[in-house]
């Protein structure tokens, strides 16, 4: 007997999450054929860069395979595959265009080839992880008991965290300062864990955002918090924070209000590029200075091409990773043989308590490739590709790609649920796996992700104790007795309910 699935059932994941890896052969063949045809035209005029073009073609084809074999156009937007495509598309494929017209760099070609190996195992691991499984989202672990208490508690936590963070920064970095000076004062000798604690306010904002877009309630609280967040992000030149907030709103609007066309993301791309370039330039001079911001704005008006040049300069992974490959070949970077992975378990120990603590993979690479940056306290990300290669060679690249693919599959399961809990956790780790692939496993990203889990637990415990949330029994998995505010989450216009 057929039974209609409730509107917000997790069994709709074939509609709103990743699909079974059944594949769409014709779409895949057409897309890959188009890539080959476009590249063939370029090859006719750029014969001296055949290897570079073929490596780029391999990356694009593997990203296209990820899209066509795993997702639908509807489920792809904001998925782990989407973020992976943005990462490799910008940092490697787009950046590699700067090498055309120059003598071919074999280490740039090698880096792109290693990225292709990573993506092969990334896709294979994702497909194997979902093979034979019915797409099903993670179950709900809590429901809302009092929406009013939820809104008030999240607002208080958010506002308090912003005030405390401002006071803490003013205490350790008085006066004008730039990004490097701020990082040196707040990220070293265990200080990072203290300042990271204030991100609990960010999680409170995400909870409030998720609840509002699902239920359209308490919008005034959300608007007040977003206004404060925007002022703080602009004042602190937090370009990443601004971009993530904008894309998070797009994600929630697309999911719970009305489906948006991907063309809207293309339309706002110039705004996002401007944010990256403008705040990146301003914070290198002085953070929060109105005069610096005005001078930077006038400078960009006089030389608008600088916006694109600064943006492309920010895409620094391909040149640094290829330089690290050369340093490894010259013996300047030694093989790690798994030692960096072991360092994950000792990363939480502050260096002032253990001065000889093994450095992060990023620190190890930066010290060898860009010693000036290292002395200034600026680290360059090594990527999981280089980290895997330094540990176990080609096998390390393959294992890293497989690990990232498996975690991406788990992440997409959160995305496939329309309930408050999974949506909140999805937003808490928004853009995954970009950070992991960029920084590697022995990195601040992994350490702070684990730290964030603890902060999420503290926030949820606070919401339980204030009567805002109530736990759901594991046996019920989202079917708690009594009336729950999370029973239904409306589908965007045009969505259809499925039957099973």
* Ordered per-residue pLDDT tens for the chain, 500 residues: 333 333 443 333 434 444 444 444 455 555 555 555 555 555 555 555 778 888 888 899 899 999 988 888 888 889 999 999 999 999 999 999 888 877 778 889 999 999 999 999 999 999 998 775 555 555 667 888 999 999 999 999 999 999 998 888 877 777 666 666 666 665 665 566 777 888 999 999 999 999 999 999 999 999 999 999 999 998 888 888 999 999 999 999 999 998 888 888 889 999 999 999 998 888 888 887 888 899 989 999 888 888 899 999 889 899 999 999 999 998 888 888 888 888 788 777 777 777 777 788 888 888 888 887 777 667 889 999 999 999 999 999 999 999 999 999 988 887 777 888 889 999 999 999 999 999 998 888 888 888 899 999 999 999 999 999 998 876 555 444 433 333 344 444 444 333 33
How many C-alpha atoms does 252 have within 13 Å on its Cβ side?
25
For the chain, domain boundaries? 10-130, 317-395
Query: CA separation (Å) from 460 to 145, 317, 424, 463, 485?
Result: 13, 37, 11, 5, 17
Sequence-ordered list of residues with C-beta below 8 angstroms from that of 101, at least 6 positions apart, any chain: none
List of residues 6+ apart from 61 with CB closer than 8 A: 32, 35, 36
The Cβ of residue 465 has, within 10 Å, a number of other Cβ atoms equal to: 10
Return the pLDDT at 169: 81
Whether the CB-CB separation of 367 and 323 falls below 8 Å is answered with no
Say how far apart CA 495 and CA 500 lie, in whole Å: 16
And the tokens for 93? 């494929």
* Lookup result for tokens 């609990």: 200
Contacts of 85 (CB under 8 A, 6+ apart): 63, 66, 67
Angle (CA) 151 152 155, round 5°: 85
What is the pLDDT at residue 9? 39
> Distance (Å, rounded) from C-alpha 36 to C-alpha 42?
10
| DSSP character string of 301-347 | HH-THHHHHHHHHH--HHHHHHHHHHHHHTTSS---TTHHHHGGGGT
Longest dimension (CA), the chain: 71
| Residues forming beta bridges with residue 144, ordered by sequence position | 469
Q: What is the pTM of this model?
A: 0.83
Measured CA distances, 310 to 183, 259, 304, 439 (Å): 21, 33, 11, 21
- What element of type H or E holds 262? helix 262-283
């Amino acid at each position: 007997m057929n039974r209609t699935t409730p509107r917000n059932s997790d069994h709709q994941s074939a509609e709103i999450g990743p699909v079974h890896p059944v594949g769409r052969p014709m779409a895949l063949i057409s897309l890959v054929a188009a890539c080959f045809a476009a590249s063939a035209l370029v090859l006719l005029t750029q014969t001296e860069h055949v290897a570079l073009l073929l490596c780029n073609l391999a990356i694009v084809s593997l990203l296209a395979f990820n899209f066509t074999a795993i997702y639908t156009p509807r489920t792809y937007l904001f998925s782990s595959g989407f973020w992976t495509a943005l990462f490799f598309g910008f940092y490697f494929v787009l950046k590699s265009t700067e090498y055309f017209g120059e003598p071919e760099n074999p280490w740039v070609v090698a880096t792109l080839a290693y990225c292709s190996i990573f993506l092969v195992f990334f896709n294979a691991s994702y497909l194997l992880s979902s093979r034979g499984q019915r797409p099903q989202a993670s179950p709900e672990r809590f429901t809302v008991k009092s929406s009013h208490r939820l809104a008030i508690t999240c607002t208080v936590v958010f506002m308090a965290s912003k005030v405390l963070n401002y006071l803490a920064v003013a205490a350790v970095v008085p006066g004008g300062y730039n990004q490097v000076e701020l990082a040196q004062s707040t990220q070293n000798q265990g200080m990072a864990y203290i300042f990271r604690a204030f991100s609990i306010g960010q999680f409170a904002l995400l909870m409030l955002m998720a609840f509002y877009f699902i239920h359209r309630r308490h919008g005034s609280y959300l608007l007040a918090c977003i206004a404060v967040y925007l002022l703080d992000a602009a004042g602190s030149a937090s370009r990443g924070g601004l971009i993530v907030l904008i894309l998070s709103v797009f994600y929630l609007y697309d999911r719970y209000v009305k489906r948006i066309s991907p063309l809207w993301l293309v339309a706002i791309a110039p705004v996002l590029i401007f944010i990256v370039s403008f705040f990146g330039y301003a914070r290198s001079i002085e953070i929060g200075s109105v005069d610096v911001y005005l001078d930077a704005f006038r400078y960009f008006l006089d030389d608008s091409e600088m916006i694109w040049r600064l943006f492309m300069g920010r895409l620094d992974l391909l040149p640094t990773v290829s330089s690290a490959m050369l340093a490894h070949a010259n013996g300047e970077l030694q093989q790690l043989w798994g030692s960096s992975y072991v360092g994950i378990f000792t990363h939480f120990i502050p260096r002032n308590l253990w001065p000889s603590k093994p450095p992060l993979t990023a620190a190890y690479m930066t010290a060898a490739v860009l010693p000036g940056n290292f002395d200034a306290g600026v680290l360059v990300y090594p990527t999981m590709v280089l980290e895997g290669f330094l540990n176990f060679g080609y096998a390390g690249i393959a294992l890293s790609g497989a690990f990232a693919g498996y975690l991406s599959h788990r992440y997409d399961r959160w995305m496939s649920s329309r309930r408050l809990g999974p949506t909140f956790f999805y937003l808490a780790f928004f853009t995954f796996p970009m950070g992991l692939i960029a920084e590697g496993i022995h990195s601040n990203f992994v350490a702070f992700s684990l730290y964030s889990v603890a902060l999420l637990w503290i926030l949820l415990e606070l919401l339980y104790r204030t009567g805002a949330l109530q736990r759901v029994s594991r046996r019920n998995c989202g079917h708690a007795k009594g009336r729950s505010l999370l029973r239904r989450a409306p589908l965007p216009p045009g969505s259809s309910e499925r039957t099973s």
